[in-house]
Amino acid sequence: MLRIRFQRIGRINDPAFRIVVLEKERAAKARNITELLGTYNPRSKALTLDEARVKEWIAKGAQPTDSIRNLLITKGVITGKKVNVLPKKTPPKKEEVVEAAAPAPAETAPAAETTPAA
């Protein structure tokens, strides 16, 4: 299965990325990529991208990673809903989970006694 993903280039503390197509099982640092589609610099937000080739690869079945998908949606290359790629900062506390799982006790009103009308 083919993936459209980032390949990190650049110096230490100065990241830059290539946008490449490669097999899902291969590491992004491996040099055997299928095709170079563009570059992205997160510091300057500079993006060079061959939009026609991206659309062709997606039509052929290549799956973009979540970060690439969000970038393509932002730039208007594809349409869809963005995906949250960052994990939650803090997991829910166990006390909150227990309270949410236990239903609140319902107040019971005294049952009205019915007397037969004579």
Assess contact for 39 and 17: CB atoms under 8 A. Answer: yes
- Judge if pTM exceeds 0.85: no
Q: Where are the beta strands (DSSP E) in 24-104?
A: 35-41, 46-49, 63-64
Determine the Cα–Cα distance for residues 70 and 76; give it in Å rounded to an integer: 10
pLDDT of amino acid 95: 72
Interval 15-48: pLDDT, tens: 999 999 998 887 767 678 889 999 999 999 999 9
pLDDT of amino acid 71: 93
Class of domain 2-75: alpha beta
pLDDT of amino acid 114: 66
